[in-house]
Structure 1
């Protein structure tokens, strides 16, 4: 696990200053505290920060072939590198190291661009071919590892694992994009098809970008996508057996390491499943860690402790409380772009805790997206059944009127908060689901933005990419479409960004066995009833894990990794909530109606409305803008 950066001149092979590449990589020293490397040639410069995991002595980068015709800088892990290496050796290739990095060089030489189909792993890399005068940028299938890039006025393209690696280049214009601010407020993160800095792009999950000197910049090319269009016809028993085999293989492959390895353990189905399968093959006690909260209703640490006892793990835990609020500046630094998933705070703390004893930790990320584990999937299925009874011409006016009449009762018990459901039933499925995955609704965003910003957006809405993704999805069923959009937008934009930045912030490698691409492809072919049955999401996954986990772990109501920011902003952080509207970077931008922000903060503190997530969003946006721009 590492940080990479580089410069490539698209037009002519101008000299590259190694100091400039080093400056880019040095901004990401946290991603690779074990070493660094710079390599330059006419028109190209590659940089690397190394966190040593495999072949500790021989895997230094950037790595070149013996004839120096190929050079690569690589972030990630190729889990099947031993098998790929053996295949290449059988074809006559001679290796000089035992690292997975060298497999990329020989794979390119043997298969060209098709080599990426041979790699099973999480990766982002840049490969320079001197003979072709080309630079090939690649990102893994699900988008576990990030890659940012931008073109500059001198005819060069720069790239880096994190935005901060680009920001130190003097030719990059640091101008904010209000479209990305809209996206952030709507979704809680800046998705992969946008960036808070104008002109910066992110290579998408499952994409490559092949640059050739003297040729114009091409669009990225997609080499992998998940399809929900086909259905498995196997019987449930056979599906359960196949799923368990895939799970076991995915966990085993991610336990290959030359450094200490452990796991995050929340006490939920996903992380508990990973720990159970690790314990099955590990020769020693699995090292596990968990984070608890000072709000009992959101604390799962007791369940984590039960799993730790069941599988005799070496378990440790810590508590997150309002005292951790000062970490907000640390979060803003490591995310660069504004990021409002408040579970980033406990994720940082659990990564810190893990790093005290291990260098690699396995997580349970990805199962909810692949196997339909979110409550919104259940609600969406139920709403779609109701939509089937009434045409839109009847449903829209009927439920739209009821929604307008029904009060927004954030203070009421959950069963009485029907306004959102009524609004969703008035919409089509894609519009409703896009609204359900959002954070701050469109009406509130219009209330917060200044008139000139609303005009500048020209109708751009954060939700539109979700709607478009669902309508164009290779899918059969509304649930398929929702999961497809989650895998393409939410997963890389929120879940994987959070885990990557928070683990890398402390020099920890996080691995996601439940995002093995073969496992995701298998899940996408499952009949809907094998994913969602009754009120149970992840149905087949739970059935497959019944021999390992108890019923109270498998079938209790999903809690999620939720940080109690709403309670904090009414209690120990009430002063911070009140201060958001004044004396902040947000106020200086002129983008917002500060009276509307102050009103939302007052409503929240009084208990009249629940604006906890909005206040956290605005706080994170304020801190990020202050770090990125001179506002």
Structure 2
């Protein structure tokens, strides 16, 4: 895995500032501690940091074709590079290395922009074609690898793997985008292609951008999308067999490495499935890694140990104190943009632990989106059955009024409150799903945004992100929310979290369940094979019964979690008061500070649980202080967070 950065003069061939490009490169040294390289021509500069995984002796980047007219910088892995290399060699291309990077150069020469259709893997890369005076940017289909780009006032374009690389350039405008602020406080992250800065964009998953000197920046072009087109039902036994074969093959092609390789093992279904396949494909014990927590309510390490014992893995386990809040401030420097998924803390720790043993780790990320594993899907489908009984024109006034009377269903029976809400029934399908995934409700967001902020939004709501994607996706209620998650939550939250946490430690993470041929095949399955009788991942779990116990397959989902509410009423109490009502948030003009004060008071008194909004505000303030103002982090971290190692 690597970090890339570049500067391209869109209209002239002005000299590239080598010092700025070098600093853009080196600020991403954590992504590639093994090697660095820079290539500069008139009006174009490429920079690269390398984490050596394959062909350790060669593969230095930037890398060119034979005559130096095509150059590439690349972050990721092309898993089918050997087959492509053979194909391109037969077509007359000459290779100097045995690494996947050189395949991209010759694939561009052979197929141009369509080369991305040939690649199976995770990638973000940039190509400079001197003859065409063109820069070509591409990002993989699911958004596993990141790519940011922004236009400077003097018509130069800067790009990089992380936002911090672009922020090195002194001419990059740093105006905060109010729409991105609204998105952040709704989702807890900023969905592609928007970033916190109005001058910078993320290249969206499955998109390319072709920049020709002398032309304006075009809209990115989509080359792939997740398609959900269920085919006729087959025998479940046949589907189960095919599914296991496809997962095994997706794992197998991700075992290619010239460095130590292992896997995350949480004890959940997805990571356990990956480890089970790895164990069958390896003639040596698989290296597995997990972390546990001192609080049993958050600890699932016992399940990881069960899987490790069954498959005889070389299992490495550490326990982290549940009060591991030393990372609260450091996260802002890792993620660059405001990012409010608190599971970034344990994710950072498990990557830290894994890197002590291996340089590449496989994970089970993507299984919930692919096979409908989230609990919220269950509630959404339950509510949808009720919504289908009445038209929206009747539901909206009826349940809307009930929702206003009992906005939290405080007087409703607990069993009903757990399954549905009046607010959800008063909305259409996409609005209802937005209501369920928003970390801060629209009403609460509006209450703590200032009048100036609401005016700047001009009626915009983060709901529009989901509505725009829904226009292009399936209409079946389950497939629709799966599609929405694959366009937003998966790349914006899950994959961003893992990329930044792993790269902070120079660890490459591969995600076999997001192998795009597997994703495309699963898209042809009938929804009933994903969710049946109240059970998500129905066919996935049935297919894995020969490999995992029922205790692993059918236990309640836990996931990484941290006790935010207790932290904010305990060891972080004073910090919450100081930060949430302090100078940095006040100076933005985004917030109604009296509302923030009430929010803090009600949480600290125990009247309400506002841990999600408070965490979001803490992370936003840390972004303002560190990324925008360049101030130092406030750290409370001890020398080692790990209590014991097994």
Same fold at TM > 0.5: yes
Report the aligned-residue RMSD. Answer: 1.8
Q: How does 1:246-395 map to 2 (within 5 A)?
A: 246-321=246-321, 323-395=323-395
Q: Deviations over 1:488-509 (max 9, x none)?
A: 1111100000000000001000
Q: How does 1:145-294 map to 2 (within 5 A)?
A: 145-294=145-294
Residue 562 (structure 1) aligns with: 561
Residue 82 (structure 1) aligns with: 82
CA contact (8 A) 1:438 1:463 kept: no
Q: Indicate how the Cα distance of structure 1 residues 111 and 164 shifts in structure 2: closer, same or farther if over 3 A, else same.
A: same
In structure 2, how many angstroms separate the alpha carbons of the residues matched to 1:347 and 1:106?
Answer: 37
SS in 1 for 2:211: strand
Q: Deviations over 1:256-292 (max 9, x none)?
A: 1000011111111001101111111112111111122
Instruction: State the shift of 1:321 in Å.
Output: 3.5
Residue 469 (structure 1) aligns with: 469
Instruction: State the shift of 1:475 in Å.
Output: 1.6
In structure 2, how many angstroms separate the alpha carbons of the residues matched to 1:165 and 1:540?
Answer: 43
Bigger shift: residues 316-325 or 548-557: 316-325
Residue 541 (structure 2) aligns with: 542
Gaps of at least 5 residues in structure 2 are: 631-646
CA contact (8 A) 1:276 1:311 kept: yes
1:120 matched to 2:115 = no
CA contact (8 A) 1:473 1:484 kept: no
Bigger shift: residues 461-470 or 61-70: 461-470
Q: Deviations over 1:63-86 (max 9, x none)?
A: 011200110000000011111111
In structure 2, how many angstroms separate the alpha carbons of the residues matched to 1:146 and 1:607?
Answer: 40
CA contact (8 A) 1:410 1:608 kept: no
1:105 matched to 2:97 = no
Residue 602 (structure 2) aligns with: 603
Q: Deviations over 1:188-245 (max 9, x none)?
A: 0011121111210110100000111112211111110111134344332221111111
Residue 488 (structure 1) aligns with: 487
Q: Deviations over 1:426-459 (max 9, x none)?
A: 1111100011111011000011111111111111
SS in 1 for 2:328: helix
CA contact (8 A) 1:411 1:609 kept: no
Bigger shift: residues 159-168 or 170-179: 170-179
CA contact (8 A) 2:334 2:504 kept: yes
Q: Indicate how the Cα distance of structure 1 residues 116 and 414 shifts in structure 2: closer, same or farther if over 3 A, else same.
A: farther
Q: Indicate how the Cα distance of structure 1 residues 40 and 328 shifts in structure 2: closer, same or farther if over 3 A, else same.
A: same
Residue 8 (structure 1) aligns with: 8
Q: Deviations over 1:108-167 (max 9, x none)?
A: 111111211111000000001111111100000000000000111222111000000000
Q: Deviations over 1:411-437 (max 9, x none)?
A: 999746459622101111110001111
SS in 1 for 2:197: coil
In structure 2, how many angstroms separate the alpha carbons of the residues matched to 1:620 and 1:420?
Answer: 31
Q: Indicate how the Cα distance of structure 1 residues 410 and 160 shifts in structure 2: closer, same or farther if over 3 A, else same.
A: farther
Q: Indicate how the Cα distance of structure 1 residues 546 and 199 shifts in structure 2: closer, same or farther if over 3 A, else same.
A: same
CA contact (8 A) 1:411 1:610 kept: no
Instruction: State the shift of 1:558 in Å.
Output: 1.4
Residue 144 (structure 1) aligns with: 144
Bigger shift: residues 516-525 or 398-407: 398-407
Residue 516 (structure 1) aligns with: 515
CA contact (8 A) 2:382 2:420 kept: no
Q: Indicate how the Cα distance of structure 1 residues 113 and 232 shifts in structure 2: closer, same or farther if over 3 A, else same.
A: farther
Q: Indicate how the Cα distance of structure 1 residues 254 and 411 shifts in structure 2: closer, same or farther if over 3 A, else same.
A: farther
CA contact (8 A) 2:2 2:76 kept: yes
Q: Indicate how the Cα distance of structure 1 residues 88 and 439 shifts in structure 2: closer, same or farther if over 3 A, else same.
A: same
In structure 2, how many angstroms separate the alpha carbons of the residues matched to 1:560 and 1:323?
Answer: 17
Residue 638 (structure 2) aligns with: none
SS in 2 for 1:325: coil
In structure 1, how many angstroms separate the alpha carbons of the residues matched to 2:73 and 2:412?
Answer: 54
CA contact (8 A) 2:407 2:423 kept: no
SS in 2 for 1:324: coil
CA contact (8 A) 1:81 1:100 kept: yes
CA contact (8 A) 2:449 2:592 kept: yes
1:622 matched to 2:621 = yes
Instruction: State the shift of 1:322 in Å.
Output: 5.1
SS in 2 for 1:259: coil
In structure 1, how many angstroms separate the alpha carbons of the residues matched to 2:482 and 2:419?
Answer: 24
CA contact (8 A) 2:230 2:527 kept: no
Q: Deviations over 1:41-96 (max 9, x none)?
A: 11110000000001101011000112001100000000111111111112222210
Instruction: State the shift of 1:298 in Å.
Output: 2.1
1:29 matched to 2:35 = no
Residue 17 (structure 2) aligns with: 17
CA contact (8 A) 1:150 1:199 kept: yes
In structure 1, how many angstroms separate the alpha carbons of the residues matched to 2:155 and 2:181?
Answer: 28
